[in-house]
Amino acid sequence: MTVQVPLRVTVRVAVRVELLTWARDRSGISPMELGRKFPTLAEWEAGTKLPTLKQLEKFAQATHTPIGYLFLPEPPEESLPVPDFRTIGDVEIGQASPDLLDTVYQCQQRQDWYRDFARIHREDPVLFVGALTTDVDIVEAARQMRTVLSFEPGERGSTWSEAFSRLLNAVDQQGVLVMVNGIVGSNTHRKLDPEEFRGFALSDDLAPLIFVNGADTKAAQIFTLAHELGHIWLGESGVDDADMAGSPTNVIERWCNAVAAEFLVPAAALQGVELDGDDLTDNLERLARQFKVSTLVVLRRLFDMGYFTLSQFRTAYGEERERVRAIMEDRPSGGGNFYNTQPVRVSKRFARALIESTLEGQTLHRDAYQMLGFKKHSTFDELARHLGVV
């Protein structure tokens, strides 16, 4: 008796070549790098060969593209779901990377969940959301923010990390969800680029949310957090680069930049400050240590106070930015303790609320794991213990 073995038929998918090219360009991954993972990619894009369904799924995963997009008749027009204030030389950037888009979507999901939680538990709205307008004096706005958050220059601790931690905890206690992460979710292979964006704010009365790009320096993160707080006080959502070098044409960005600078380095505290000797770097680092900000913020504030001409400032700022970038490149990377870093990545307030809701049976464990960024129940239990929920 002859046993017939069924033939294995390879099913190939008719996908439009422009969608493959769009997905590759959208990902920001070089054709050479993708070509190593997909040796027949050039043939797919030329239309001389079709990928299998499994190959297409792997391609979508590698390019961080929703698989459904590759079956559309033409490439979709993607845009950020919140106002985009990012600029390069005061020119709008436009296209957002998959990393930025996925980060915003994930934060919106968490915000939606927390808003429902706050309503169920009848939490009070955060009073300062939308409490100010851009017509409010910069010094007065910064003073109000420092008072609410207890963040005067003498209340910041001895290091940048301590200052950032104090500010973050103060903001958390006031009801704002603050998420600080240098990667997309928990994917260590998708590092966020501070050159693309430094942070964003999602304004909401019950669940105001701030995201800070944790791939930036700690000093830069402090300024970003202060800038995004300006957005929350205005009640204005937005993604931005929080760049101190330029003068944004957008009134909201210009106001938030100015308030953040005054919030961190009050003009009154710089009155009469003397620059010692000819070494600008030493002066910048000395004042940066005093106020727990970046040297770039100090440089901008000195320019605001009339210590430099515009030409001098632009030259000095460019040189200092390159020096800071070189330090960043030499900085060792490390994830630290998961149970210390994860609550900061997803917001301590959010993590505690989600764990409590899950333990009370109001939220499915599966949904909690997804929003917290892990899969194991043992991790959930340990995080709950670390946060003092159980």
Same domain? For 107 and 37 the reply is no
Considering the domain architecture, whether residues 134 and 53 belong to the same structural domain is answered as no
Torsion angle (degrees, nearest 10) of CA 85, 88, 89, 90: -20
Domain boundary among 5, 36, 71: 71
**Which of 71, 100, 116 lies at the terminal end of a domain, its last residue?**
71
Q: Are residues 126 and 178 in the same domain?
A: yes
Is residue 65 within 8 Å of 26, Cβ to Cβ?
yes
Q: Where are the alpha helices (DSSP H) in 121-217?
A: 138-149, 160-173
pLDDT of residue 7: 60
Number of structural domains the chain divides into: 3
Residues 339/346, Cβ–Cβ less than 8 Å:
no
Residues 234 and 166 in one domain: yes
Element (H, E) at 57: helix 53-62
In a domain, 163, yes or no: yes
Return the structure tokens found at 47.
């239309």
Say what the pLDDT of residue 1 is.
60
User: Does 1 map to a domain?
Assistant: no
* For the chain, counts of helices (H) and of strands (E): 17, 8
Whether residues 58 and 119 share a domain: the answer is no
Same domain, 115 and 210: yes
Is residue 76 domain-resident?
no
- The pTM of the whole model exceeds 0.75: yes
Helix (H, G, I), strand (E, B) or coil at 122: coil
Asked whether 239 and 214 are in contact (CB, 8 A), the reply is no
Q: Give the span between the Cα atoms of 381 and 384, in whole angstroms.
A: 5
Pair 48, 143 in one domain: no
Indicate whether 114 belongs to any domain: yes
Residue 126 within any structural domain of the chain:
yes
Q: Where does a domain end: 232, 254, 270?
A: 270
User: With contact defined as beta carbons under 8 Å apart, do 287 and 326 qualify?
Assistant: no
Q: Do residue 40 and residue 188 come from a single domain?
A: no
Clarify whether residues 107 and 199 are in a common domain.
Answer: yes
Give residue 380's pLDDT: 94
Phi first, then psi: give them for residue 309, nearest 5 degrees.
-80, 170
Query: Do residues 98 and 205 share a domain?
Result: yes
- CA-CA distance, 32 to 344, in Å (whole number)? 36
β pairing state of 238-240 and 91-92: unpaired
In a domain, 346, yes or no: yes
Examine residue 197 and state whether it is found in any structural domain, yes or no.
yes
Residues 6 or more apart in contact with residue 248 via CB below 8 angstroms? 85, 87, 90, 254, 257
Is 327 a member of any domain?
no
**Per the structure block, which two tokens stand in for 185?**
């979710």
Q: Can you give the pLDDT of all 390 residues of the chain as single tens digits?
A: 666 656 666 778 889 999 999 999 998 888 889 989 999 999 999 989 999 999 999 999 999 999 999 999 999 988 899 999 887 555 566 688 999 999 999 999 999 999 999 999 999 999 999 999 999 999 999 999 999 999 999 889 888 889 999 999 999 999 999 999 999 999 998 999 988 999 999 999 999 999 999 998 888 899 999 999 999 999 999 998 766 666 778 899 999 999 999 999 999 998 888 887 678 889 999 999 999 998 999 999 999 888 889 899 989 988 988 888 787 776 665 557 888 899 999 999 999 999 999 999 999 999 999 999 998 999 999 999 999 988
Tell whether 119 and 257 lie within a shared domain. yes
Could you tell me which of 3, 197, 10 has the C-alpha nearest to residue 98? 197
The domain containing residue 33 runs over which residues? 17-71
User: Are 157 and 260 contained in the same domain?
Assistant: yes
Q: Give me the sign of the Cα torsion angle 386, 116, 366, 58.
A: negative
